[in-house]
Structure 1
Amino acid sequence: MIDPLNHSYYAATANEWRPRAFEGDLECDVAVLGGGFTGLSAALACAERGYSVIVVEAEHIGFGASGRNGGQLIPGLRWTASELEAEFGRERADALFDLCWRQNRVKARIEKHGIGCDLRTGHLEAAWTPKDFDTMKREAEYLAARFDYASDVIAKGDMAAHIASPLYHGGLHDPQGGHFHPLNYAIGLARAAEAAGVRIMEGERVNRIALFNDGSSELFTLKTIVGARYVIDATDSWIGDVEPDLGRYTVPIMNYNVATAPLADADALLPSDAAVADSRFVLNYFRLSADKRLIFGGGERYSQTPPRDIAAFVRPFMVEVFPQIADAPIDYGWGGAVAVTMNRLPHIGRRGNVFYAHGFSGHGALVTTLAGELIAEAMAGTAERFDVLANLPSKPFPGGKWLRRPLAKLGLLWYAMRDKLG
């Protein structure tokens, strides 16, 4: 039976991966929960510093959002740089910008380890309304004047050079952004981690962490116990299963993607081969794959139950943007949960020898790799850059265990309704 959430183009075109078997005591310096971008990059960076590392993954490498996302590489955070400065002041904005806009650790890892993941350059934010376009122009001027950061304002009349759709009122093109095959990137990180000495366990779900007075920990699965000096919890949407108090800081939103059959006129749809995301709250996001399919994400659901037919659910959003491919065959439809915080900024920190990073709110393909590496830095004794992200404000969702998700759903539905009302 096909898993309706994991019938993805990425799984169908994944590079070969099979973790090596290992024997011996399950003792290590660092135990990492989760085999996604955050966990794998943290494991790799820790191993490069000489730590012994075990990664414990409940399913398989890239099973969660890391292997199912839209493949869009968008510099920064969910807040614009000007919003960060207005909220946190000039000094903190500078530090956040240096980390989250200028530090492309994904590209660095791809180049260092020769990861084959169809990396392409260019990301376009498409303005849904004239007001959105005006905001983008102001942001581009701010980025250029404040940070000497080059982005290209695209007037409505010039959008055809990027996207064959009349819907948008201009856009902001960032040549530092791009897109890639996310599951193959995760597999590439896993291979590099193994080469650095990391031991990877798949199919082992951690159900409890025991903390001891000396700072050490034990992770309990159904089959085994892993002893560790440090723990990194990188389980994102599943973090509440192991650490319920951290689970209060996020709610899951279900996102869905499709991949068409290869299209003869694919380059005419997106002539610059940039990834595109529009400016709506419930946004559409799309790009071309290496074999000229349109990969399109659209619509959100606040129920954990997926649509009966994901392709039928997403197709109307795709056709709204590209009516010229209304009848294009859809070969793959899949989805998954995005862990969203109240303010859409990631929730990163440490409690003693336990580090955590989650809640990237749909904007994590670049910053997750950075977060993993910053955790390794902090563990090795240099926490200055880690603290830049760890000091971002965060609050748990109200409502407790039973009302947290319903209350968050009401708020999200309000913003989705604003999209429709213009």
Structure 2
Amino acid sequence: MAHTPYPLSYYAASASPAPTRPALEGERDTDICIIGAGYTGLSTALFLLESGFKVCIVEAAKVGFGASGRNGGQIVNSYSRDIDVIERSVGARQAQLLGQMAFEGGRIIRERIAKYNIQCDLKDGGVFAAFTAKQMGHLEAQKKLWERYGHNQLELLDAKGIRDVVATDNYVGGMLDLSGGHIHPLNLALGEAAAVESLGGIIYEQSPAVRIERGTNPIVHTPQGRVKAKFVVVAGNAYLGNLIPELAAKSMPCGTQVITTEPLGEDLAHSLLPQDYCVEDCNYLLDYYRLSGDKRLIYGGGVVYGARDPANIEAIIRPKMLKTFPQLKDVKIEFAWTGNFLLTLSRLPQVGRLGDNIYYSQGCSGHGVTYTHLAGKVLAESLKGQAERFDAFASLPHYPFPGGQLFRVPFTALGAWYYSLRDRLGV
């Protein structure tokens, strides 16, 4: 049987020790079978196990193999499209529910870290950085919007204020979210997996779901086994493939690239980001960066539509890093990798059921660290019979990409080019 290891990333190289988990063989029975051991699957499993359900997870590769173990590691509130967009798309009741949930994912992460003593280099504080006065105006409006939904841990930064938290002259201002922050994403996933197992949950690695046999008791088939369940939760996101064609038609895997420097040392690292906040800029195709626990700079950005792996990731991202921090021109890049996230046309997550017993959540559109943890809670609530919050997400409208799967990449890339041109022109 094929064995899929972690990609060669900084996170995999610095991951906490984890057990080798067996592949599924033979037949198993459970209450709920979850497809995917990323954040969505792990969060769902934890909430269900804490409520007494019998749960198993089938994972195609290893815990956190996909976006959960490769992302920028930033705890960013709300969704890829903010609450004002949701307010214009759905009724007042759904918008109120979704707005209230927009800041819950970060709290869930911190609760998990504390409850299960997960060592993942948690640091508090995240900054949104504005290049232009127009972007600064957007942040001012965003602050008012978030405060309207009860999120008050925000501080606007003028040019001097942002220069105090990030050592670059590129920005005119920004906004600090004290409830934001950053983590070692793979270690968070590994810690959550250990918590799942401590509660009696079972995780099968190297066990891709190849078919779901739908019916009164759905059966998830893997190459060497199958799981019969009362309910199935599909949590594969960008790594689900074409397992469920009706979901694949409304989403598109996209790649983002990340590089990590050699250790910078305490003095240089502190000079770049004195408060150890994470940063993302306000461009449509944004860059993001932060310090690791061992004082490396982790810098990511760019989007490859259709999830092709670029030939030279460092050549794409290093110039972006040096534009922000020219003082790092002689610093060595030790790791470079790509990872896929799942994009939806609306940039809002897709949540729903197929029939009565197959549930899914997908399409974080690059904003998944916090949302996936919330999604696990919402999915678990629905499986326990409390569907109000699930239904609020399920009510969001979703559409297939124009031109179908054949043309979704060029059409989306053309739209992204338009917005990135606007970013460069400052309009």
Same fold (TM > 0.5): yes
2:180 matches 1:195 = no
Matching residue within 117, 140, 143 for 1:140: 143
Flag the 1:383–1:157 CA change in 2: closer, same or farther, 3 A: same
**In structure 2, what is the equivalent of residue 220 of structure 1?**
221
The question of 1:42 aligning with 2:44 is answered yes
Alpha carbons of structure 1 residues 233 and 175: separation in structure 2 relative to 1, 3 Å = same
Q: Give 1:248 shift.
A: 1.3
Q: Which amino acid aligns with 2:223?
A: L
Q: Please give the residue correspondences for 1:313-328 in structure 2 after superposition, counting only pairs within 5 Å.
A: 313-328=316-331
- Number of the residue aligned with 1:261: 262
Aligned-pair distance for 1:80? 2.7
Deviation at 1:221, TM superposition (A): 1.5
1:58 counterpart (57, 60, 69): 60
SS in 2 for 1:335: strand
The match for 1:169 is: 172
Q: How many residues align?
A: 418
Structure 1 counterpart SS, 2:31? strand
Select the residue among 109, 128, 131 that pairs with 1:128: 131
C-alpha change, 1:390 and 1:19, in structure 2 (3 Å) is farther
Where structure 1 has 5 or more consecutive residues not aligned to the other structure, the ranges are: none
Q: Distance in 2 between matches of 1:5 and 1:276?
A: 26
CA contact (8 A) 2:25 2:226 kept: no
For 1:218 and 1:142, the matched residues in 2 are separated by 44
Q: Post-superposition shift, 1:96?
A: 1.5
Identity %: 39
Residue 331 of structure 1 is matched in structure 2 by 334
Q: Is the 8 A contact 1:251 1:408 kept in 2?
A: no
Cross-structure match for 2:369: 365
Offset at residue 66 of structure 1 (A):
0.3
Task: Please say if residues 208 and 222 of structure 2, whose CA atoms lie closer than 8 Å, have aligned partners that are also in contact.
Answer: yes
Residue 4 (structure 1) shift: 12
Distance 1:148 1:281, change over 3 A: closer
Q: Which residue is 1:18 aligned to?
A: 19
The 5-angstrom pairing of residues 241-256 of structure 1 reads 241-256=242-257
Whichever residue aligns with residue 273 of structure 1, its letter is D
Change (3 A) 1:311 1:88: same
TM-score, scaled to structure 1: 0.94
- Distance apart, 1:19 and its partner CA: 4.5
Q: CA deviation at 1:261?
A: 0.7
Give the match for residue 182 of structure 1.
185
Following the alignment from structure 1 to structure 2, what is the Cα–Cα distance between the partners of residues 315 and 4?
26
**In structure 1, the residue corresponding to 2:238 is in which secondary structure?**
helix
Mapped contact 1:299–1:317 kept (Cα < 8 A): no
Aligned to 2:390: 386
**Contact 1:285–1:298 at 8 Å: present in 2 too?**
yes
SS at the partner of 1:26?
Answer: strand
Indicate how the Cα distance of structure 1 residues 10 and 106 shifts in structure 2: closer, same or farther if over 3 A, else same.
same
Residue 416 of structure 1 corresponds to 420
* Pair 304,145 (structure 1): closer, same or farther in 2 beyond 3 Å: closer
Q: Which moved more, 1:88-97 or 1:40-49?
A: 88-97
- Larger displacement relative to structure 2 (398-407 or 363-372): 398-407
Given that 2:6 and 2:65 are in contact with CA atoms closer than 8 Å, whether structure 1 keeps it comes out as no
- Tell me, what secondary structure is at the counterpart of 2:368? coil
Residues 6, 62 of structure 2: 8 Å contact kept: no
Aligned partners of 2:302 and 2:6: how far apart in 1? 15
Q: Is 1:111 aligned with 2:114? A: yes
1:236-269 Cα distance to aligned partner (Å, 9 max, x none): 0133421011011211221000110111301110
CA shift digits 1:156-211 (9 cap, x unpaired): 12211110011111001100111000000000110000111111110011111111
- TM-score with structure 2 length normalisation? 0.93
Instruction: Compute the displacement of 1:20 (Å).
Output: 4.9
Cα deviation for residue 377 of structure 1 reads 1.1
Query: Cα offset for 1:90?
Result: 4.4
CA contact (8 A) 1:116 1:184 kept: yes
Q: C-alpha displacement at 1:387, in angstroms?
A: 1.7
Taking a change above 3 Å as real, the CA distance of residues 10 and 148 of structure 1, as seen in their structure-2 partners, is closer
Equivalent in the alignment of 2:312: 309
1:138 shift after superposition: 2.5
Give per-residue Cα distances to partners, 1:371-420, cap 9 Å, x unaligned.
Answer: 01211111111111222222222112122232233322322232233223
Q: Does residue 406 of the first structure (1) align with residue 410 of the second (2)?
A: yes
- Which residue identity does 1:179 align to in structure 2? H
> 5 Å matches for 1:232-243?
232-243=233-244
Unaligned runs of 5+ in 2: none
